[in-house]
Amino acid sequence: MTHSWDPQHYLTYADERGRPFVELLGRVGAEAPRTVVDLGCGPGNLTALPAQRWPDAEVRGLDSSAAMVEAARRDVPHVEVERADLREWLAAGGASVDVLVSNATLQWVPGHLDLLPALLERVAPGGWLALQVPANFDEPSHTIRAELAAEPAYAAHTQGVAVPASHDPATYLDALARLGARVDAWETTYLHVLTGDDPVFEWVSATGARPTLQALPDDLRPGFEAELRRRLRAAYVPGPAGVVLAFRRVFVVAQKAGA
């Protein structure tokens, strides 16, 4: 079941979504890489950061979404962006990369743990693989969507829809260490303070809930959205600071063994 992405909607919380990328990149110890590839670059706003950090490097972004690639090419013209599926890019092979980054992308790739050897294989000796994946799937922002989507009125349409999934830091660390890499893995739970009407719905409808919403027919979607909004409001009651969205993320930075 296919779905599409909306760059403008995705960028509604650009600062909150961008912070993990900044912290991930900060742990990459490359000094003067020649090539940097951002797998799942989205609208390209974050791919511009490694280009700023390493101005002499060839920085490229890849994304499977035509809309995201179009936005990246328009808004970040100094970075080369290619439309490509991550798995197809790996299978095609090619020159080694000094820094390979994947930010909030692998959670959408089923069985992505099995891709780690291929990802590390594309990294040059002594180079770096850095990835970040959400790990908040037991939070109401996800469980409420799943419960509602499983109800009889919607289940026939949402069965098999894409849902994100990831692993604990120790799982990634173990897998990459077994491949001979030196690994730094950790997790962080952000407390995002959101404002506006139905802010948690606005967040999830741009990302985790989007495939589910797109899978519904036009006559069912409004009712689903209304009920999802209602349940999310009940789960995320505003406090003194506003609505607080707890968001756990997993980070992994691995340096491949040198030549």
Q: Does residue 1 fall inside a structural domain?
A: no
pLDDT of residue 44: 84
Q: Which residue has the higher pLDDT, 13 or 75?
A: 75
> What average pLDDT does range 177-201 have in this prediction?
95
pLDDT of residue 258: 86
Give every CB contact of residue 132 below 8 A, 6+ residues apart in sequence: 20, 21, 24, 102, 103, 104, 249, 250, 251, 252
CATH number of the domain within which 142 lies:
3.40.50.150
Alpha-carbon distances of 130 from 11, 15, 256, rounded to whole Å = 22, 20, 11
User: Edge-to-edge strand order for the sheet containing 97-103?
Assistant: 80-83, 58-63, 35-39, 97-103, 123-134, 243-255, 182-194
pLDDT in tens, 91-102: 998 899 999 999
Q: Does residue 225 fall inside a structural domain?
A: yes
> What average pLDDT does range 174-193 have in this prediction?
97
Q: How many domains does the chain have?
A: 1
Q: Does residue 2 fall inside a structural domain?
A: no
Kindly tell me if the per-residue pLDDT of 62 is higher than 80: yes
pLDDT in tens, 219-244: 999 999 999 999 999 999 999 999 99
Which structural domain range is residue 82 located in? Answer: 7-255
pLDDT of residue 207: 83
Buried b (16+ CB within 10 A) or exposed e, 196-226: eebbbbbbbbbbbbbbbbebbeeeebeebbe
> What average pLDDT does range 124-139 have in this prediction?
97
Residue 136 banded pLDDT, cuts 50, 70, 90: very high
Percent of the chain with pLDDT over 90: 76
Q: Would you give the distance in Å from CA 78 to the centre of its chain?
A: 22
| Whole-number Å distance between alpha carbons of 239 and 226 | 22
Kindly tell me if the per-residue pLDDT of 7 is higher than 50: no
Kindly tell me if the per-residue pLDDT of 256 is higher than 80: yes
pTM of the model: 0.92
Residue that is written with structure tokens 């919403």 in the block: 213
| Whole-number Å distance between alpha carbons of 140 and 246 | 10
Of all helices (H) and strands (E), which one includes residue 202?
Answer: helix 199-205
